[in-house]
Each structure stands twice: as structure tokens, then as C-alpha cells.
Amino acid sequence: MNTKFVETFLQLAEVKSVRQVARQMHTTPGTVSMRIKKLEEQVGVTLFNWNHKTLEITPKGAQLISYAQAIMEATEAFKNASSTKTHTSKLRLGVNESIVLTVLPKIMRFLERLIPGIQIDLSVDLTTNLKERLILRELDIIMHVSGDQTATPFFSSYDILEFPQHWISKPRSLGVDQPLDQLLSKQFITQMRGTVPYELALDTLRQLSEKYGLPASDIRVSGSPSLAAMISLVKGGIGIGIMPAILVKKELLEGELIELNHPTIPATKVSLSHMRNASPAICSTADLINKICAHYCRKESRHYIRFVGDKSAIQYKPY
């Protein structure tokens, strides 16, 4: 059985677009269709229902996905068995902005130390875009916000970090113990509309407004297109930031900003994901990133960031 046919089947089952699969596999739509037809002849079942508008996997085809994944995993293991390399020499890493502003420098520094000659191709994007690029195999590993309801059986994904959310303000605007019912009439600034942090902040503010008998329609929440813009707006006194305090740790320590003493917003978790049939090199590198994150969190206060990954990584020292 041609493993290229099996790989094409798996990608088409996930993407559901012949043109997209052709593009990511650097071939033509006709070749993709031919591979699927040949594979159907070999296994003796129809894998997809085709028409001019949609492409759907058949029930029989869906049953064969786990077997196809096993074939690709075995093939990858066979290839790597003949190699002396433990890790990948090139890593296409996708992260969100919160990772860039916190743990990313340590990840890159230690990966370069632990894997001499590694080439890290970095992408910074929103979670939905990172997941799409991982599916298209344009990225090897992604670090993204979890809980966005877009899980896929093609991913190996687990939580590694947790960012507590805090109420942050300019000291001249408010006091740390400003009554909550007075705060709810203020302008709030948080992460981009439609993201998990935005929805958590909005839901919490609405619950508080109901508790204090205030109209939920009076709650004013602005979603910032970037963390850097959000920080700038809060530092400019435009509104109260609902954000991870670690992003403005320096400003808090210097007194430029203050943290308000009010109910906590649910923490935002960050997951690490790669494809389930990723090479042993990618899986090993993902494990290294998990351990580096544990090391980073051990050096920071749990008030700012928490490690929620594999607890065996806590004592790891990536020296």
C-alpha cells in the first residue's frame, strides 16, 4: 500500500478540500483525486462521497482513520529508526502573543542550547489561525489558548500554562479598593472580541452587573486587537484592563499601574498541540518545550503564571 495515498486520505479527511490538500502536498487536484481512487480500489470501499459543492467522508472511511494514522506513525518511526538525531533540526513553531511576551525567549534560548543547529521558524497568530496552519502542516507545534471548542481528533493537545487574569488600572484613576458597583460603569479593555479571554471577561462582568442590579447593557467592554495595544491603552488611563498581570509586571512593581482588589476572572489556559502522527522528533521537541515551560513557571510567582502540564517536568533543569 502506497503510504502517500494514505497520507492524502488523512489530510483530505481533515481539510475536506481537494484544492487545499493539493496545495499543501505540492501537487495537483487531479493527483489527489487519483490517489484516493487508487486507495479505494486497494481497500475495496468508498472513502468519500463527492459532488460539486461538498466532500464528506463515508462512515466506512471514518472507521479507517485510526488505522491510517497507525500506518503513518509506523512509517515515521521506521524512518527515524535509521537516524541518530533525537530531535528535529528545523522547527516551525506557532505561538500566540501572550507566549511571545512571556515564556518564548526562554523556549528559544534553551532549544538552541539543547539542540545545536536547530532552525526555529516562528509564527505569531490567533489560535484559530494557528490550528488551521497546523492542520495544513504548515506548522509543527503550536502554543495556543485552550477551550475554544475547536478540538480535533487529529491533534495531540494538552494544557501546559495558565495565566491568571487581573483588574489593572492607572493609580490616579482608581484606588485598589474602589467599590465594585462603581467600577462596573467604567470602560473595560481586554483581549480581542471573540477570543476565550474576551468571553470569560464579558461573562464575569455581566454576572457582577446582575448581582448589583445594574443593566448588563451598561457594561462597556472593548476588545483590543493585540496585547501590546491593550497594555498601551491601560497605561494611558483609557480604561480598566482585564488581563494577565505578568504582562505589566514591571509597571506594577514601579507603581505606574495598580492591581484592583476585586473578584478574579477565570484564568486563561494555554495548550501545546501537534499532529497525532507527528514524527518522534517533533514529539520529543514538544516534550522539551513542556519542560522548559515548567522551569519558567517555577521561577515565577503563581500570582502571575502557573504550570498545569505534566508534573514530572517540574524538577527539570534545562542546562
The domain that holds 118 is classified in CATH as: 3.40.190.10
Residue 151 within any structural domain of the chain: yes
Cell 505534566 belongs to 310
The domain boundary residue, chosen from 81, 106, 129: 81
Is 22 domain-assigned?
yes
Tell me the per-residue pLDDT of 215-270, one tens digit each, with 9 for 90 and over: 877 888 888 888 889 999 999 888 899 999 999 999 999 999 998 887 678 889 99
Does some domain include residue 17? yes
Which region among 59-73, 114-128, 277-291 has the lowest average model confidence (pLDDT)? Answer: 59-73
Do 33 and 95 share a domain, yes or no? no
Q: What is the mean pLDDT of the chain?
A: 84
- Asked whether residue 199 falls in the same domain as residue 145, the answer is no
- Assess whether 180 and 140 both reside in one domain: no
* 148 in the same domain as 118: yes
Question: What CATH number is given to the structural domain containing 38?
Answer: 1.10.10.10
Q: 166 burial class (0-12, 13-18, 19+ CB within 10 angstroms)?
A: buried
Flag whether 318 is in a domain.
no
Is residue 188 a part of any domain in this protein? yes
Q: What would the pLDDT profile of 70-81 be if each residue is shown by its tens digit?
A: 777 767 665 555
Q: Is the pLDDT of residue 130 over 50?
A: yes
Confidence of residue 307 (pLDDT cuts 50, 70, 90): very high
More confident residue, 147 or 196: 196
Which residues are 231's β-sheet partners? none
Give residues with Cβ within 8 angstroms of 218, minimum separation 6. 184, 185, 209
Same domain, 197 and 261: yes
Question: Does one domain contain both 118 and 194?
Answer: no
Write the single-letter amino acid at 257.
L
Q: Calculate mean pLDDT across residues 33-56.
A: 86
| Co-location of 263 and 275 in the same domain | no
Q: Do both 197 and 247 map to the same domain? A: yes
CB 12 within 8 A of CB 48: yes
For residue 119, give its domain range.
90-160+269-313
Closest CA to 269 of 126, 142, 145: 145
In this predicted structure, what is the pLDDT of residue 314?
57
- Chain centroid to CA 70: 25
When divided into structural domains, the chain yields a total of 3
Do 251 and 177 lie in one domain? The reply is yes
Q: Are residues 54 and 72 in the same domain?
A: yes
pLDDT (mean) for 4-19: 89
Residue 5: pLDDT above 60? Answer: yes
In this prediction, residues 148-162 reach a mean pLDDT of 77
Does 145 lie in the same domain as 16?
no
